[in-house]
Amino acid sequence: DIQMTQSPATLYASVGDRVTITCRASQSISSWLAWYQQKPGKAPKLLIYKASNLENGVPSKFSGSGSGTGFTLTISSLQPDDFATYYCQQYNSLPYTFGQGTKLEIK
Amino acid sequence: EVQLVESGGGLGRPGGSLTLSCAAAGLTFSSHWMNWVRQVPGKGLMWVSRINTDATVTNYTDSVKGRFTISRDNAKNTLYLQMNSLRAEDTALYYCVRDRGWPTGGFDYWGQGTLVIVSS
């Protein structure tokens, strides 16, 4: 199985900050990576697909990059609504696997 | 508006069975692979199973192989997960999820989840 490792587990930031979350795959997954945002009590929401493509309706403040084994999600100009948990997911091979999540908290 | 509505969760006994359903609306259900993803409350996400458009291909994570069966009824726009030989570690919120598929991929629509608790 491909292991997905996110860092940090918790990220403290302030409104207006720009933050970056990292996701590393245990083997190459090309660009078959998605990023999701999950708020308490809600289902995950797709933000980024194929590593760097912004899902329809998602603000351009979210951006993704990377390929192979290293990926990043960057969120610019943080607003209160952005404080949530973020997950990466590889869909290069079965079983599909998720990172353990990064909880973005207000400093 | 796309809706995926899960049902069938509840209390199951160890060794027992439950069947989850997911009713789809507002999308061309028969054109997409569908998945089940589970999440222990307060924990991360885990892919459980997927099924192709005509139900000829199914895949499972190792921990549920031989115990869970995914199926679909395209005429009823409904996805199912038959869960047998339940274990305490199957306790989780189960999401029904659409795979957008080639060439972009990504799980673009999620239901609200149905909670399964396995306990004696």
Question: Is pLDDT at B91 greater than 90 in this prediction?
Answer: yes
Specify the pLDDT at position A75.
98
Q: Where residue B51 falls among pLDDT bands split at 50, 70, 90?
A: very high
Q: Where residue B84 falls among pLDDT bands split at 50, 70, 90?
A: very high
Q: Where residue B74 falls among pLDDT bands split at 50, 70, 90?
A: very high
- A interface with B, Cβ–Cβ < 8 A, is 32, 34, 36, 42-46, 49-50, 53, 55, 87, 89, 91, 94-101
- Residues ≥6 apart with Cβ < 8 Å to B12: B18, B83, B86, B90, B116, B117, B118, B119
Question: Is pLDDT at B29 greater than 90 in this prediction?
Answer: yes
- B interface with A, Cβ–Cβ < 8 A, is 35, 44-47, 50, 59, 61-62, 95, 99-100, 104-108, 110-113
**CA–centroid distance for A18 within its chain:** 14
Other beta carbons within 10 Å of A26: 13
CB contact under 8 A, A34 and B105: yes
Tell me the per-residue pLDDT of B4-27, one tens digit each, with 9 for 90 and over.
Answer: 999 999 999 999 999 999 999 999
Specify the pLDDT at position B102.
87
**For testing the chain A interface, which of B1, B107, B115 should be mutated: the one with the most A CBs within 10 Å?**
B107
Q: What residue ranges of chain A have pLDDT lower than 70?
A: none
Chain A contacts of B105, Cβ < 8 Å? Answer: 32, 34, 49-50, 91
Pairwise CA distance, residues A36 & A21, whole Å: 12
Specify the pLDDT at position A84.
98
